[in-house]
Every structure is written in C-alpha cells, then in structure tokens.
Amino acid sequence: MVERLVENHNLCDDQQVLNDECGRMNMNIPNEEREGQHILSPEVRNRLPIIGEVVDRQAATHLERVGFHRWSKSFFPENRYNIMTTNIVESVNSMFLDEREYHITALFDAINRRFAEKFHERHMKFINAPTIFVPSIEKYITKNINLGNKLLVHQIAKYKNIVAGQDEVATVDLLAKSCTCKVFDIDKVPFSHVMAALRCQYGDDYGRRIYEYFSSYYSVEVYLIAYVEEIKPVPSEETWKVPIEILERKISSPFVEPGKVGRRFSKRHKGIGESFSTKKNKCSLCKRIGHKRTTCSERNVA
C-alpha cells in the first residue's frame, strides 16, 4: 500500500511539472502548430520516460501520441468554457447534507428554496456596485498594475511589445490579445506583462483602456445577468396538471441488493490520495488521545 502511494505521489509530481512547464514556455506557438505538432522543451520531453518508469511505459507513449493539446490546458487551441467538472457536484452535495435524507418531494422543495435564496442574494450583492468588474478582479487589476510598473518594455511593432523582468521575457500582442506566458490567452485577464505593454502603448490613458482587454465575463453587468432569473416556489400538488399517461405509468420500487443487511452507506468514498480529517477522542482523566474516559486504563486506579 505504501509503495502504491509513493507511485501515485511521484506520478502527480511529474504531471504537475509537465503542466507547469507547458504553461511557462515563452514561445510564440501558432494555434495550427499547437494543434498538429508536439512542440515541447527538452525538460518536458525528458519527463515522459519518468512516467513510463513509474507507472506504465505505454501511458507515456499514449500521452505523446494523442497530442498535448488534448490534455494540457496551455496547449489547447480554443477557449475552454462550459467544461463540466465534479467541483459543482461536490459543492451542491455539501449544501444538502441533511436534506439528502428527505423524501424526494421535500428534497426538491429544499433545493428550489436554497437556489432561490442564493440567486436573490448574489443578484442584490452587486446591483449597486460602483466598479466595472467584480471586486476580486478589481484587486487583481491593482496588483498587476503595480507588478507591470516594474517591468521593462520594448515596442517592436504598433501593437506588439517585448516585456522583460522577473527573470523572464514575454512577447505581448495587444491586437491578438495574446501573450507568450499564456495567462492572458487562457484566463482572458491582463497579466503584469500585458499591463506593462498597455502602459507603453497608451501612456497616461492606459488606466482607462485596460478594461477593454478583459473578458466581459468578469464584469458586474454580466454577473448580474447570470442571477437575474427568478426561481419561484413549486405550487401545491392540487394545482398540478399531470398528463393521463404519466398518472397511469407504473413505477417500480428501487432495486435493493438481496442479502445485504445494515444501514445504507451515505458518506462519500475516499478517492486515490484523498484523506478526510477525523476527530480523535481525548480522555478527560489522563488527557491522552486515542480513547475515552470509559475505556481509560487509569479509571480504576483513580
């Protein structure tokens, strides 16, 4: 078991190095080249044999054969929006820990009520916001303006600049809204390199022009639109108009595994490399952890 955990840990480290290196590569790679060719630095390519030694050599060969643009965000040629992940499932699951034990109709009523509260709360939160973007992005702007003021900029074309500083050199194309560090391309927010290029391009007016280079998804206006819908409560069952074919449909009982006894398991199983915090008992007599007062060996002595 310990050997398997070490293998998983090493694999995660190698995977992280691959992703980090792909994101740090300061190269102008056109989309058509990223889509068809595996343009990698020697450090990244040298990591593939390590994965083959730790887990399976076929895994490393497969990753290279299918193309890094299929599993690395930095090499993906398009905007990765509307990607469903398990994060939203975990968030919703934690919201309804107690309600999950309700009957199905009561559970749906609880979900409806909770989402109605959240939509109203988040819509009213920024309805009178004085800023153009949400507060977290406004803080991000201030932070990167300060970082951009420390960088050196050399303009090589009308909208193209070379930005140097912090032990790296990046090429910023304001017309294409692209930077070789890939932060601007992926997150659609101007990083410190872009802030420095905007300062060089627009001079004293760049404080106003930087908002043109942010994605509209971060604006307060779009945020309010996301929560503008009203979630109304479900009316009483007497007012429902149910089609006759639905009423006549026979619904079978849920499947129960035969011979299985005991209470139904309701907690989530741990994933690979995942651990849950557990509360350990502390004895009130000897003050040691691992047992309670009723099982303490010093109880009879006292």
Tell me the pLDDT tens digit for each residue of 178-206.
Answer: 888 888 888 888 989 999 999 988 888 88
Residue-level pLDDT at 90: 78
Question: Is the pLDDT score of 297 beyond 60?
Answer: yes
Question: Is the pLDDT score of 249 beyond 80?
Answer: yes
> Which residue type occupies 27?
M
pLDDT tens string 51-92: 556 566 777 778 778 877 777 766 777 766 555 556 777 788
SS3 262: coil
Which whole number is the average pLDDT over 153-182? 88
Q: How confident is the model at residue 111 (pLDDT cuts 50, 70, 90)?
A: very high
Residues with Cβ within 8 Å of 11's Cβ and at least 6 positions away in sequence, in order, are 51, 54, 55
Question: Is the pLDDT score of 38 beyond 60?
Answer: no
Which token pair is 205?
Answer: 């007016």
Which token pair is 247?
Answer: 């009423």
Greatest CA span in the chain, whole angstroms?
Answer: 87
Angle between helices 57-66 and 42-54 (to 10 degrees): 140
Q: Is the pTM of this model over 0.75?
A: no
Question: Is the pLDDT score of 220 beyond 90?
Answer: yes
Closest by Cα among 62, 50, 45 to 13: 50
Residue-level pLDDT at 184: 87
Q: How confident is the model at residue 48 (pLDDT cuts 50, 70, 90)?
A: low
